Copies of this chain bind each other. A is one copy, B any other.
Amino acid sequence: MRIPYDEMKRELTRVLKKHGVEAGRAERSAELFADASRDGIYTHGLNRFPAFIRAIGDGDVDVHARASFEEKIGVMERWNGNRGIGNLNASAAMERAVALAKEYGIGVVGLKNTNHWMRPGNYGLMAVEKNCIGILWTNTLPNMPPWGGRDARLGNNPIVFAVPNGGEPVLLDIAMSMFAYGKLETYARQGRELPMDGGFDKNQQPTRDAAEIIETQQILPFGFWKGSGLALMLDLVAAAISGGLTTREVGEYPRETAVSQVFIAIDLESLPNRDLYLEQVKATLADLQTSTPREEGRPPAYPGQHMMAVRRENMKRGIPVEESIWDKIKAM
């Protein structure tokens, strides 16, 4: 079934208000959930909402807490998420990074003690709307073994790069594991094989069997030692800038909370060569698509290229939802 964007947002707002979120904040948080589904990121939109409501009930998310300014370090700012609503905290931090970028060319905000930000790409698109490049990442609880190890010691620490490009932004939104757990669950449910190894099986062999990987909890860093190394560095830099916890420390909580995030904005309006720069972006994206396709009829795409088409379709025809999830939310 398909649900109109406005209806989805209204329904999620209603549930959030019922759980104690103030009206304006409920609406913004609901919007961020709906935006994810609108853009085709269903796993981090509506589908994640029930788990988010559960986290409120469990006391992991304090609906009344707001992000508060902690300190300024040179031109960087540190904010405290006070274990409030993750997407509202991240949204506030990105807004602040953009404001700093308008002042200093670049804006850097660290956000500590916050909760899962749901779809990372939302905050990159916020930067893009203000004509900024957005770069942001988060740490997570330990959920990925380091290269060469079996036990999770690293987070899969998603990172986003977003670059303005007229109405067709470039948006890279990736975690440090080859496949996210959400993706593994989809493959497992459908009984499909992963297109490449995604982790290790019970015999400690690399495998494309998603169900086995979910069982062993041994997901593979993308690019093996490279994604493993990147995950570590993103964690250490996030802790430095935010003054918050490392993945190891987040792991001391019974469930993921109090994570550390970084929000960087680079203001394109501040660049003397901004018009030329936008032409450089356009030319690069066009050039990339001229590489002979590996599969006939499927030219290489840039990150985010297909998103706007999904968005237009979903805004026109409604957002696809799993009926059972929608019913669950209606009953909340």
- Please report A residues at the B interface, Cβ cutoff 8 Å: 71, 73-76, 101, 103-106, 108, 133, 135, 145-154, 161, 163, 170, 172, 174, 178, 196, 204, 222-230, 232-233, 235-237, 239-241, 243, 246-249, 266-268, 270-273, 277, 280-281, 283-284, 287-288, 290-295, 298-303
Report yes or no: A104 in contact with B74, Cβ–Cβ below 8 A.
yes
Given contact pairs A249-B280, A271-B240, A229 touches B294 in the complex (Cβ within 8 A): no
Identify which of B76, B227, B266 contacts A240 (C-beta below 8 A): B266
Could you list 4 further interchain pairs (A-B, Cβ under 8 angstroms) beyond the known A73-B105, A243-B277?
A: A74-B103, A135-B237, A240-B268, A241-B266
Q: How many copies does the complex hold?
A: 2
The residue in chain B whose Cβ has the minimal distance to the Cβ of A173 is B229
Interface of A is mostly: mixed
**Chain B residue with Cβ nearest A285:** B232
The interface residues of chain B lying within 8 Å CB-to-CB of A292 are 149-151
Contact present for B149 and A237 (CB under 8 Å) = no
Query: How close is A328's CB to chain B, nearest CB, in angstroms?
Result: 33
- CB pair B75–A75 under 8 Å, yes or no, is yes
Q: Tell me the minimal C-beta distance from A289 to chain B in angstroms.
A: 8
User: Separation in Å of the A24 CB from the closest CB of chain B?
Assistant: 31
Can you list 15 A-B pairs, Cβ within 8 angstroms, ordered by A? Answer: A104-B104, A133-B237, A146-B291, A148-B295, A148-B299, A149-B288, A152-B291, A154-B288, A163-B237, A163-B240, A228-B300, A236-B280, A236-B284, A240-B268, A243-B271
A284-B246 contact given A172-B229, A223-B223, A237-B135, CB 8 Å threshold: yes
Cα(A298)–Cα(B283), bound, Å: 47
Min CB–CB distance A110 → chain B (angstroms): 10
